[in-house]
Amino acid sequence: MNLAAKDIRHNFGRFALTAIGIGLLLMIVMGMGGIYRGLIREATLLIDNIGADLWVVQGSTRGPFAEISRVPASLEDRARAVPGVASARRFVSHTVQREHRGKPLRIVVQGLAWPEDRGNWIPLVAGRPLRQAHYEIIADRSLRLELGEKIELGKNVYEVVGLTSGMVGSGGDGLGFFTVSDAQAIQFDVPGEALRLERQSRRARVEAEYIGQVQPLLVERAVGSASGIPALAPPQVSAVMLTIQPGMSAATVAATISTWPDVTVYSTQQQKDLLLSGMVDKAKRQLGLFRVLLIIISTIIMALIIYTLTLDKIHDIAMLKLMGARNGVIVGLILQQALLIGALGYGLAYWLGTFAFPKFPRLVVIENQDLLTLAGIVLGISVLASLLGIGKAMRVEPNKILS
């Protein structure tokens, strides 16, 4: 006869509630680890899939993912002239929030370097890549846009021609893939009144200068479109991505570009490290702290329950000792109960997680290594939780049965 099983049947209600409570706590611990894994995957998803070997960013900055970077679009042509560079593409990425169907819609606007990049590398689940230079978008399913649906961004209307899945930014918002020119049009869109005021401001500045007084045509030029004024540069991009020719060393190309004083060059791995050591690192530490606290709370709850169950059977333990039972039998009784609570809690956490985690707003990634680690932690806290009850049982005297 197993004494632990008999005692569990006698106190089944308390035992079951304890296992459920521990299971819920362990599910949260498991979920926090999965959220951290999901943060890493979402943060590095675009870097891994976009297929660049080197990232050329604004000088003395850490790149478009860690901070704001602005470089001239002409840097793309300059980079193509570097020996060993197979291709150069402009990179534009920014987040916008608009009203759509009466609800807020956040989109990570990702520019594709048309016509070299039409989005053929994007894993589509429906639709097609971009076929024209303007007014088309490939949207992630998390944006809840339908194929063929039209959405107004800025002064233009864009049609959803392709759908992808799981393509999100570091903040968890769905990606929308546009051509670079459309992405910049969305980024630098301003109301008509703001444009009018800016043109009048330019006119006033030119009129105040001597050259504007002797050349009246410059005044009229100043109130025109900014793109028609030679002195005003076209919109800047966030970075330029380089692909290295087969057989060439990325380090050699990077060393050449590093001599340019206006830019900084990073490898793909360096960009990932900079991203993970910034935003994701703080989230990692915060989630880790909560995991530790929850593990401590689980240990305390299990210890108190095991101790309470031990107190309820003090007379039974005294009787066993009076009958000559070995200490190993009593220790086994308490330890088996603690291990069973931990095992049931762990199983319940995993079962509940399979249903709950896919419904979380952020990606939750549970890896086998994490499951094994948590199983070891559960084993450890089960043993620790049993020590309080074992200590109490060992101090029980056989004559306690007579009191």
328 found inside a domain: yes
Tokens 């190309």 found at: 253
Contacts 24+ apart (CB under 8 A), 158-161: 158/182, 159/135, 160/127, 161/127, 161/128, 161/129, 161/130, 161/131, 161/136, 161/137
Q: Six-digit token pair at 136?
A: 């088309």
pLDDT in tens, the chain (403 residues): 455 566 666 667 777 887 888 888 888 888 888 888 888 888 788 888 888 889 999 888 887 887 888 888 888 888 988 999 988 888 888 888 888 888 888 999 998 888 888 888 888 998 999 999 889 999 999 888 899 889 988 888 999 999 998 888 877 788 999 999 899 888 887 766 766 777 677 667 666 665 655 566 656 666 656 655 655 566 788 889 999 988 888 889 999 998 988 889 998 888 888 888 776 777 778 888 888 888 888 778 777 777 777 776 666 666 666 666 677 777 777 788 788 888 888 899 899 988 888 888 888 888 888 889 888 888 888 888 777 777 777 776 666 555 5
Residue range(s) defining the domain that contains residue 35: 3-43+281-402
Do 185 and 151 form a contact (C-beta atoms < 8 A)?
Answer: no
| Angstrom distance (rounded) from CA 286 to CA 376 | 22
Give the per-residue pLDDT at 142: 87
Helix H or strand E encompassing 308: helix 281-312
| Angstrom distance (rounded) from CA 345 to CA 351 | 10
Look at the chain and report how many structural domains it folds into. 1
Give the per-residue pLDDT at 164: 92
In degrees, to the nearest 5, what angle opens at C-alpha 129 toward C-alphas 127 and 132? 115
What 3-state DSSP class applies to 344?
A: helix
Q: Six-digit token pair at 101?
A: 């169907």
Q: Six-digit token pair at 73?
A: 């679009």
Tokens 């005044």 found at: 219
Give the per-residue pLDDT at 159: 92
Distances (CA, A) of 260 to 57, 236, 239, 325, 347: 11, 18, 15, 82, 58
Do 108 and 153 form a contact (C-beta atoms < 8 A)?
Answer: no
71 found inside a domain: no
In degrees, to the nearest 5, what angle opens at C-alpha 119 toward C-alphas 241 and 117? 45
pLDDT in tens, 242-268: 999 888 888 899 999 989 888 899 988
| Angstrom distance (rounded) from CA 223 to CA 228 | 10
370 found inside a domain: yes
18 found inside a domain: yes
DSSP-derived secondary structure letter, 59: T
Give the per-residue pLDDT at 1: 41
Query: Distance from CA of residue 169 to its chain's centroid?
Result: 7
Do 339 and 382 form a contact (C-beta atoms < 8 A)?
Answer: yes
Give the per-residue pLDDT at 117: 86
289 found inside a domain: yes
Point out which residues pair with 265 in neighbouring strands. Answer: 56
pLDDT in tens, 351-381: 998 888 888 888 888 888 888 988 888 888 8
| Angstrom distance (rounded) from CA 204 to CA 187 | 27
Q: Six-digit token pair at 348?
A: 């319940």
